[in-house]
């Protein structure tokens, strides 16, 4: 099957920054699994099943044929292993992300012997799910910052 990457996140919501990481990863790996997880530190803002559908629509509209989406609870490495993944994928926006991600990556390496591959956010490094939610809650347009299917979902939920 080749190399399988597991891109985990809360994706609450999935933004153009996340999409860019998926696109970069899809070019490097034979298969990419986007894992929508539950982060114990964060409360869910958008229904995960609906977000999964919106990400799936985005992936199909972008013709990312080697990408699939799963929902999971529990430890990321457990789900990644169960899915047959070889490596974890994360995106880096800045130094703060790097420090945070490094701790998680180190633990994952220790407990599951799984390495993490980082992709650069580049010019979308300013974008976060919380900024999108801030705009959304203040009735500002979110269209420039999220894929079409995600914007439609958020506008439908309004
Ligand atoms: P988590 O709750 O697991 O941090 P997020 O959905 O916030 O999940 O982010 C998932 C991953 O995507 C993280 O590695 C994060 O650094 C990365 N990421 C978030 N926003 C961007 C962006 N604009 N560009 C690139 N990577 C990003």
pLDDT single digits (tens) 7-28: 999 999 999 999 999 999 999 9
Which pLDDT does position 38 carry in this prediction?
85
Q: pTM, whole model, 2 decimals?
A: 0.96
- Collapsing DSSP to helix, strand or coil, 94 comes out as coil
Confidence grade of residue 42 (pLDDT, cut at 50, 70, 90): confident
Q: Which ligand 1 atom sits nearest the alpha carbon of residue 126?
A: 23
pLDDT tens per residue, range 73-127: 999 999 999 999 999 999 999 999 999 999 999 999 999 999 999 999 999 999 9
User: Residues with beta carbon inside 6 Å of ligand 1?
Assistant: 9-11, 15, 17-18, 21, 39, 42, 90-91, 93, 97, 101, 121, 124-125, 127-129
Q: What is the radius of gyration, based on Cα positions, of the chain? A: 15
Rounded-to-integer distance, Cα 112 and Cα 101, Å: 16
């Amino acid at each position: 099957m080749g190399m399988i990457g597991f891109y985990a996140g809360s994706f609450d919501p999935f933004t153009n920054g996340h999409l860019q990481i998926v696109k970069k990863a899809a070019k490097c790996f034979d298969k990419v699994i986007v894992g929508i997880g539950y982060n114990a530190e964060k409360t869910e803002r958008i229904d995960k099943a609906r977000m999964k559908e919106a990400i799936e629509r985005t992936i199909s509209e972008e013709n990312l044929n080697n990408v699939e989406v799963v929902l999971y609870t529990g430890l990321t490495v457990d789900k990644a292993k169960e899915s047959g993944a070889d490596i974890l994928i994360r995106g880096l926006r800045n130094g703060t992300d790097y420090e945070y991600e490094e701790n998680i990556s180190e633990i994952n390496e220790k407990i599951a012997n799984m390495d993490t591959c980082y992709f650069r956010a580049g010019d979308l490094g300013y974008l976060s799910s919380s900024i999108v939610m801030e705009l959304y809650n203040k009735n500002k347009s979110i269209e420039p910052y999220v894929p079409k299917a995600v914007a439609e979902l958020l506008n439908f939920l309004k």
